Chain A
């Protein structure tokens, strides 16, 4: 299970984490990234992608640094960050659970898997648990229709799922964390 970079504390409040809470190396990395792309046409996209890699999300202060560094408006940065599903404004959990709601998975019952996950984790779809461990999201077709219904947890793929398998799978990740 791949470790995810954590820029942001597990705090689910809207409140932005302060510089002091953050690893200043990450900001240094962001500055280098901006510096490297500054004069490119269309630099915003690769810089946002890089920032998401570094911080795990693109919160307000990161977007402001990008806007200033690239000489574009915050409106433009925010517009691109909210347009693409790949960017997240809030910190994501350590484990990102993506349940496929593509046509094949959907007809094979992925909605009930998603509902079960929501029930077990006690969070609505599209949010993160209070302890910052799990983010639950629905996705479009993952391209693994032969395994429908499918979900991924970070880079692990689970196929031919039924709702009753859900508690066991989640428990595995909870234990992994406890170790």
Chain B
């Protein structure tokens, strides 16, 4: 049994398990201690000192790194502590670019909120030399603005500890300290995988996505362009948060209506692309199984993961599924199948993808993802950018009636919807592969063993008389662990799903920002995934191969999964990338 510790926080007695920090103990007592650098499960380093408390010790102590001790009497709200915190904030502000009005994080900035809550009256209490940095906006995905950085190191922790990438870190010392890549290199010169997890954890506006909304506005107002949009599965599970709806609210219908009101000519659904991916990927898996292909096969939907594999684990490139990701598949179909059906020159079609992901911006620019000199996808915007467009257009999102996606590529099954959560692609693929291999109907479509937010999940699935050993992992850090064990021969799998972001796309680098205080009390990944599994359960069709529009697509255009035309338009290849640019 775990040992319990009794302590008093602001006069309230609490009992917590040994090893609990004073910060977490205070939470159980209903006492809120302000934090800036602390991020549950990711960063507890006592760097910002905002969480200082009075324990009767000589000096105030940082609660996030102070273990609760028996009999401890903690005071979190004394005049001295309040003054200490206020002074700290004033010092942070003395070297902070305070252009709050136009800052991307205005009203959603942890520093701004804290200044308000702690009553910081003078933003210029300490005037003096301030550092000036050039904004790094060379990456197609991520913009870094060190003028706004408060050196909390949350981005550093997520990049190195969670993602096992570590392309940024603190350099220099004292006043000159900055979060940078070695030798002042741009993020784009480093082996950054563009996942954007750094953006999601940044408390201020020092990290944000490369904004491509103007490109979309321009396309929409160009009368010669036929603009087609497609939102990813995970977008509908989180978009509502930008409009004050509770986390986990599914807003598929409102989203479809909003996209139409923004003026897109066609509103297709990446869920359809996901169903199409399953058709090709399940076929590829069956082929590899029956013809002695490279196993384990590993999914290829997550562009952050793909870049990670190409850079850090190039020996696994033959294991990667050759399938393009769902939105790339749909883009390729928009410029071929749809163009032909609608009688539109593919050159006049602009495909816009709304993604929970910043790495998709990089992916769309990969030269191999196109046909006849045309990119499959022209513009990628994130969930956050779509929300900004909806607000800018004056659309009252919460009052919108539910709408539908446009036919031809708007229908989807439950299998396509769950792509947005870790384990979803695996489950969707198993639903189809099972029926392909056994020729019989899969009665229970729920593969519970691959659901949930654990970083690495394993299962053995009975497919006919075969035992198929599968693994699902999310975060590239977990992928690294899993691949190390496969490489060492400790583990053997047939099929592996990897998503670059922890929890999968629902927690992607382009999703609405959830501040540390909320992350401390709820699991973003679980809440948003609920919206997707809820939709799946309610869908009349739950297997990709039952999608009637998919059947029509194969009958009219693609012939069959893995056909020559499917290979030309829906599959791709990968190449090893150097760790350092020369």
Contacts and interface: CB of A to CB of B under 8 A. Distances in A.
Interface in A22-54: none
A167 B528 CA distance: 72
Nearest to B176: A82
A73 B169 contact: yes
A82 B173 contact: yes
Chain B interface residue number, banded: 10 to 19
B169 A79 contact: yes
A83 B173 contact: yes
Nearest to A89: B183
A74 B182 contact: yes
B186 to A, nearest CB: 14
B580 interface: yes
Nearest to A84: B173
Contact of B160 (A75, A83, A84): A75
12 contacts: A60-B182, A60-B183, A63-B182, A73-B160, A73-B165, A75-B168, A76-B160, A76-B166, A76-B169, A78-B169, A79-B169, A83-B170
Main secondary structure of the interface of A (DSSP, over half): helix
Nearest to B174: A83
Interface in A64-103: 64, 73-79, 82-84
Contacts of A76: 160, 166, 169
Interface string B419-446: 0000000000000000000000000000
Contacts of A84: 173
Interface string B152-174: 00001000100001111111110
B468 to A, nearest CB: 33
B182 A78 contact: yes
A102 B167 CA distance: 37
Interface of A: 60, 63-64, 73-79, 82-84
Contact of B172 (A63, A74, A82): A82
A78 to B, nearest CB: 4
A115 to B, nearest CB: 22
Nearest to A14: B183
Contacts, number: 38
Given A63-B182, A64-B580, A75 B173 contact: no
Contacts of B173: 82-84
B183 A75 contact: no
A75 B163 CA distance: 14
B515 interface: no
Given A63-B182, A64-B580, A73-B166, A78 B171 contact: yes
Contacts of A73: 160, 165-167, 169
A82 B183 CA distance: 10
Interface string B178-196: 0001110000000000000
Nearest to B184: A78
A75 B181 CA distance: 6
Contacts of B156: 75
Nearest to B170: A79
B152 to A, nearest CB: 15
In order of increasing CB-CB distance, the 5 nearest A-B pairs are A73-B166, A75-B169, A78-B182, A79-B169, A82-B171
Which of B170, B172, B181, B182 has most A Cβ within 10 Å?
A: B182
Nearest to A85: B173
Contacts of A82: 171-173
Interface in B535-567: none
Nearest to B178: A82
Contacts of B181: 75
Which of A63, A64, A74, A76 has most B Cβ within 10 Å?
A: A74
Contacts of B580: 64, 74
A78 B170 CA distance: 9
Contacts of B168: 75
Contacts of A64: 580
A84 B181 CA distance: 17
A73 B190 CA distance: 11
B287 to A, nearest CB: 37
A62 B468 CA distance: 46
A76 B179 CA distance: 11
Nearest to B168: A75
A77 to B, nearest CB: 8
A61 to B, nearest CB: 10
A166 B166 CA distance: 47
A33 B183 CA distance: 24
A79 to B, nearest CB: 4
Contacts of B171: 78-79, 82-83
A79 B151 CA distance: 14
A83 B172 contact: yes
Nearest to B159: A75
Nearest to B166: A73
Interface in B176-220: 181-183
A73 B167 CA distance: 7
A78 B183 CA distance: 8
A73 B166 CA distance: 6
A77 B170 CA distance: 10
A77 B173 CA distance: 14
Contacts of A79: 169-171
Contacts of A83: 170-173
Given A74-B580, A76-B166, 12 more contacts: A63-B182, A64-B580, A73-B160, A73-B165, A73-B166, A73-B167, A75-B156, A75-B181, A77-B182, A82-B172, A83-B172, A84-B173
Nearest to A77: B182
B344 to A, nearest CB: 47
B581 to A, nearest CB: 12
A178 B179 CA distance: 45
Contacts of B183: 60, 78
Contacts of B160: 73, 75-76
A73 B156 CA distance: 12
A78 B167 CA distance: 11
